[in-house]
Structure 1
C-alpha cells in the first residue's frame, strides 16, 4: 500500500489517524494496540504472504532480548540473534524468487536493537513498545532504520499518545512535502529515464546526460520524499523519526556524500561494522607495537589496514544491501574507489578545493555511480557513460523546440537540490529557511492547496524506488 496511492491517502491513513484519536482516549495501551493492528493491516495489504514472517521476526527478536537479559552470557544470545536475522535476510532477500517487502529495513532495525542490549544490563522493552519500534508502518518498508537509543524511549513513554493539533499540523506538512516530491518532481522524470536507460546505445550527448541527471534527481526526490512522509506520519502520533537525507548533492567529498545520503543506513554500518573493525585493527597494531598515528596512516601498509580495509568491507555490505547482482557489486567497488581516493588525498595532500569545484566533482562521481546503479547490466552502464562522453555522437544540430523547456526544468530541479532548505529546516523554522512554515491560517490554505495538488497527481504514480530493497 504505497503512501502515494489513493487507497492509502483517502482510506488507510485517515482511518488510522481517526482510530488513534479514539483509542488515545482510553489510554496509552489502547493507542499503541491500535497502531500495532494498523501496521499489521498495512503490511498485509502489500505483502500478505510475508505477514507471518514479520510477526515471527518481531516475536523472535523480542524473545532473544529477554533471554539476553536473564542470561549469564548475553553476548552469545546477541550473536545468535544477529546470525539468525542475517540468515533470514539472506534467504528471503537473495534466494527467494519474491523478496519480502521491507525485510532489510525492519531486520536492520532489530539487529541494532540486539546490539544495543548486548550487555544484558539494559532491560528489554515491553511487548507493545517493541512491536511498534520494529513494525510501525511509516518506516516499515523503506526506513529510516531506527536507532534504539534514540527511539525506544519514545515508544516506551506512557503519556502523549493522543492526536493533537500541533502534531497533526507539523506532521501533515512533512507528509505533503514528501508527497509533492514524489508525485510532482520524481515521477514525471520517468518519461525521460525509462526510454533512455532502455536503449543507452542510441543516446547522443545531450539525451545521455539528460537521462543520467534525471535519474539522479528522481532517486533523490523519490527516496527523500518517502522519508519526509514517514517522518510526517510518525510526527502526527507524537513520534520523532530521524532524517535520512541532509542535502547530499551539496557534499564537497564522496565521504561527506555518504554522511548525507541514506544517513540511517550509513550510521548503522558505521557503528556496527566500520567503527568496531577500525577499533579492533588499532588495538591489534598497538598490542604488536605498531604505530597508529597520522604518519603511519600515510604509509601504504598503514593506510590499507587502518583506513582501506574497513572502507572496503563496509561498502561491500552496502552493495549486498541493495542486492546480490554484479551491477550492485560494481557500484560498491566504484564508490569504494572514490572513498579511497578521497582519503588518500586527505592523508597525502590535505589541501581543500574551492567549494564549487569540490561539489561539482563529487556530484560527477555520484552521477557515474547512479548510472551504474540504474542500469540492468554493466554493458548498458558503459554504453550510457559512452554516450555522456560523446562517443555516440553529438546529436542533431537542428534546434529542437523541446530542449529549452527540458533544460529549464532541470535547472529548476537543481536549484531546489542546491539552494532550497531541507524539509526539516523549513517545517521547524531553522535558520537556513528564509520563509519558514508557521501554524497560521495562511499556511493552512497553502498546505491545503499543496495537498490537493499532490493527491491529484498521485493516481497513476509509481511505487517508491527503495521498496525493492
Structure 2
C-alpha cells in the first residue's frame, strides 16, 4: 500500500522496506527529507512533461507510418531516436518521482535508473536500466538456472569454470542458455506480443556476445576495461545503437511495423535530405554530387534534429541527478559520485538553499505549464 512505487517500480524487497516502516524516527515527514524529496520529484516531473512527452509527439506518427508502409531514412532515424530519448527521460523521470515521493514520508526506495546510455556494453546497460528488475530476474530466474545446471554438470563430471575461464560447452550451458531464457522471460514480462519476444531475445543475444567478448579477453590475458577515450566512446555508441534497435521492437505494435522502420533506417525506402541541410554552406552541392536530393519531410524537421542532438549531449556529457546531489544518500543502493563539471565545481552540488529552491521552483512552474498546455500522458512503463 506504499503507493509511490506501485505504478512501475522500483521493485522492492521486504528486507529493504520493513525496517524503514518500523523506524518511527524515520517514517514521518521531516524537513530535510521534504527538501530533498521535493527536489528529486520536481526534477523528475520536468523530465517527464518537458522533455519526454514532446519526443513522444515526434515518435508516434513515425511508428504509425511504419505500420502502414515504408518510412524513408531520416524520418525513420528521427522516430527511433525520438522514442529512445522519450523512453529514457520518461522512465528516468518516473524513477526520480517515485524516489522523491518516498522521501516525503522518510522512506528510501532503491535506485532504479543510473545513466544507462553511458554504458559501455549491454551487461553494464542492464546494471543501469530498470536496476531492480535486473536484480529480480537475476535472483529468481538466472541464478537458480545456473545453480541447477552447475549441480548437474558436477554430478556428471563435466567441465566447470576455472579462474574465470570456461570451455565453449561450459559457456553455452552456464552463460548463453540462462541468459537467453532470462531475457526471453523479460520480454514476455513486458507484454504479450511477438515484438516483446523479439525484444527480449535481441537483448539476450547482445548479452551473450558481450559475455563471449569478455571470455575472449580473459583467455588472452587482456584487460577487461580500457582507458582509451576513443574506444570507450565507440563502445558507448555501439551499446546505444543496440539498445535503440531493441527499443524499436519494444515500441512497435507488431514485428512487421518494427521491420518496416528498420528497413527505413537502413535506407531501403529511399533517402531524402531535409531542406534545412541546404542552409549549410556547400550542403546542397554535396548532396547533389551524391545523386541525392532534398525535400519536404513532414515527420522530420530542424527542431527535432536540434532536440535530439541537444539531449544526446545531456545524456552522455552531463552528470545525472544523483551525481548532482553529491553526498546525499537519497535512495537505497546509490553508489554514484559527482563527476564532470559537478566534480570540479563542488559549489555546484545541490544543497538546501534559497538559490536551489528558486531553480527547482522554476523547473516546477515550467513543468506545470507544460502539463496544462496539453492532454496529460501516462508513464510509458505504466502499460507493462
Q: Structure 1 residues 154 and 191 mapped into 2: Cα distance closer, same or farther (>3 Å)? A: same
For residues 84-111 of structure 1, give each alpha carbon's deviation from its aligned partner in whole angstroms, at most 9, with x where no partner exists. Answer: xxxxxxxxxxxxxxxxxxxxxxxxxxxx
What's 1:366 paired with?
Answer: 243
Per the alignment, residue 209 of structure 2 pairs with 341
State how far apart, in whole Å, the 1-side matches of 2:136 and 2:184 are: 14
Normalising by structure 1, report the TM-score. 0.68
Following TM superposition, by how much is the alpha carbon of 1:380 offset from its aligned partner in structure 2, in angstroms? 0.9
Question: Which is bigger in relative contact order (C-alpha 8 A, separation at least 6)?
Answer: 2
Quick one: which of 216, 219, 226 aligns to 2:87? 219
Residue number in structure 1 paired with 2:287:
none
**Pairing 1:137–2:18 present:** no
Residue aligning to 1:424: 322
Distance 1:383 1:356 in 2: 29
Q: What is the aligned counterpart of 2:294 among 381, 398, 407?
A: 398
More helix by share: 1
TM-score, normalised to structure 2's length? 0.83
Q: Which runs of 4+ in 1 moved over 6 A?
A: 399-402
Q: In 2, distance between residues paired with 1:339 and 1:161?
A: 40
| 1:461 matched to 2:376 | yes
Give the match's secondary structure for 1:398. Answer: strand
Question: Per-residue deviation at 1:149?
Answer: 2.2
Q: Does the alignment pair 1:415 with 2:281? A: no
Q: What 5-or-longer segments of structure 1 have no aligned partner? A: 1-134
Shift of 1:381: 0.6
Aligned-pair Cα RMSD in Å: 2.0
- Between the aligned partners of 2:52 and 2:156, the Cα distance in structure 1 is 53
Q: CA deviation at 1:391?
A: 0.6
Aligned to 2:134: 266
Choose which of 104, 111, 119 in structure 2 pairs with 1:236. Answer: 104
For 1:312 and 1:257, locate their aligned partners in 2 and report how far apart those are by CA, in whole Å.
16
- Report the more deviating stretch, 289-298 or 137-146: 289-298
SS at match of 2:113: coil
CA distance in 1 between partners of 2:5 and 2:144 (Å):
26
Cα distance in 2 for partners of 1:296, 1:448 equals 51
> How many residue pairs align between the two structures?
335
Please give the alpha-carbon distance, in whole angstroms, between the structure 1 residues aligned to 2:120 and 2:147: 27
**What is the CA–CA distance in structure 2 between the aligned matches of 1:294 and 1:312, rounded to whole Å?**
23
Deviation sequence 1:423-465 (CA, Å, 0-9, x none): 2222245422342111111111111111111111113231001
